Amino acid sequence: MSRRLRWAAAIAAAVVVAAVGGWIVFASLRSPSPDEAALAYLHAVESGDPKAVEATGAEVSATALAALDGATERIARPAVTGTHGTGENRRVEVSFRLGGEEHDATLSMSAVNGRWVVDGSWLGAVTPSTTAGTVVAIGAATLPAGDDTVLLPGTYAVAAAPAALLDGTSEVTVLPGETTAVEVDASLRPEATEAAQQHLDDHLTACTTPAPSPPPGCGIRLPWGLEFRDVSEVRYRIEQQPTVTLTTDGFTAAGGVLVATVTGTGQDGAPRTTTYRTDDWSLRGDVDFTAEGLRLTVW
């Protein structure tokens, strides 16, 4: 073979190698197909990793991602069974296992910035209720009671909240396109009564700041109207705080000892100071449990 032919053959071989290499790079960098993107999304949900789900670009709320960590069972054995549509919108038929049963669903896919992304139509929802408070918890997520909250398919432990004050858990399975109700039978932890007592003590400390008249919502009733024409100041001394008895929606507090010294003008027009004492200072009211703790409302 002449030198010219050898050079031509070498150049041709180099071109072939470059073309093959370019195809390999192109193949490795190409965007996943709708089927592949859908399966990658399902595997991310199966893993229970919120960051992996978020990385797929799917339309999933922060609440649903936080709740995923509290799932007691996630989807398993996901598979793609068919694809429909053309252009930038596709429907991918999938199957998966959850709650001991096989389920079928459809994922709506859209082309977004050069890749296929699942929309929110595949998600399900839960409507929780609770016998105490206004919220429940799934993992790190807080859900409002009585409202629909969209979640990823899975089985979840729905707990009374706040967990530091309330006990009670119910399990619910969320399926694509379905809304499922669940009730949590909440009960008080000992810490709830302790917290209520501290709240009441703080409230009564504010109640007993020296003032010209007893403040409302403090359970203080003084008969000074029979002996005073006018009152300039009432000073209090708490000898014993009322003790709280708590339920899931209210409280009573009894057994308090309060001394009040009233200064002012007597009915005869002369300066007057009188001390009153009650050995059964009592109050009652409502209690509300929130995500942050509890709140007392004294009647």
Taking only the tens place, the pLDDT of each residue in 227-259 is 999 999 999 999 999 999 999 999 999 999 999
Q: What's the pLDDT at 31?
A: 65
Q: What's the pLDDT at 270?
A: 97
| Amino acid present at 127 | T
Q: What's the pLDDT at 225?
A: 84
Residue 23: in which H helix or E strand, if any?
A: helix 3-29
Is there a contact between 9 and 75 (Cβ–Cβ < 8 Å)? no
DSSP string, 29-67: HSPPPHHHHHHHHHHHHHHT-HHHHHHTT----HHHHHH
Q: What's the pLDDT at 16?
A: 37
**Which stretches of the chain score pLDDT less than 70?**
1-31
Q: Output the pTM of the full model.
A: 0.79
Q: What's the pLDDT at 224?
A: 86
In sequence order, the 6+-apart residues with CB closer than 8 A to the CB of 253 are 200, 219, 242, 243, 244, 245, 282, 283, 284
Q: What's the pLDDT at 273?
A: 97
Q: What's the pLDDT at 148?
A: 97
Is there a contact between 74 and 46 (Cβ–Cβ < 8 Å)? yes
Is there a contact between 236 and 210 (Cβ–Cβ < 8 Å)? yes
